[in-house]
Amino acid sequence: MPLTASNSGKTLTIAIEGTLNATLQKEFKACYKDVTNQMEEFVLDFSKVEFADSSGLGLLLILHGTTRASPLKPKLKITNTKPNIAEILKISRFDQHFEIS
């Protein structure tokens, strides 16, 4: 399974495996759509992400837009990012919306 979601109190962690692209759209949204207004933090675990294309980055932007509409305005974090993926995220200025490590 390319996505695994776990809820710990007010934090939702989504672990992504393989390629982050449009094929994950429905599954990715399903991980957070019912709990967005209850979370204070979203953590995306990228430890097993090997590649992200522009449609995958678009999924991150949709998550950002969805959480900005939430009354809690949750923190957004991308963790365990491989150097090549972190570089793409920083060049694309995702570090302005997500804490990247």
pLDDT in tens, 4-52: 999 999 999 999 999 999 999 999 999 999 999 999 999 999 999 999 9
Q: What is the dihedral of CA 19, 94, 75, 22, to 10 degrees?
A: -30
pTM of structure = 0.96
Check which CATH number belongs to the domain holding 95 and give it. 3.30.750.24
| pLDDT value of residue 1 | 63
| pLDDT tens-digit readout, 53-77 | 999 999 999 999 999 999 999 999 9
Look at the chain and report how many structural domains it folds into: 1
| pLDDT value of residue 13 | 98
- Gap between the Cα atoms of 52 and 90, Å rounded: 13
Q: What is the dihedral of CA 56, 70, 99, 60, to 10 degrees?
A: 0
- Gap between the Cα atoms of 70 and 7, Å rounded: 17
Q: Which domain holds residue 93?
A: 3-15+24-100
Q: Are 78 and 89 in contact (CB under 8 A)?
A: yes
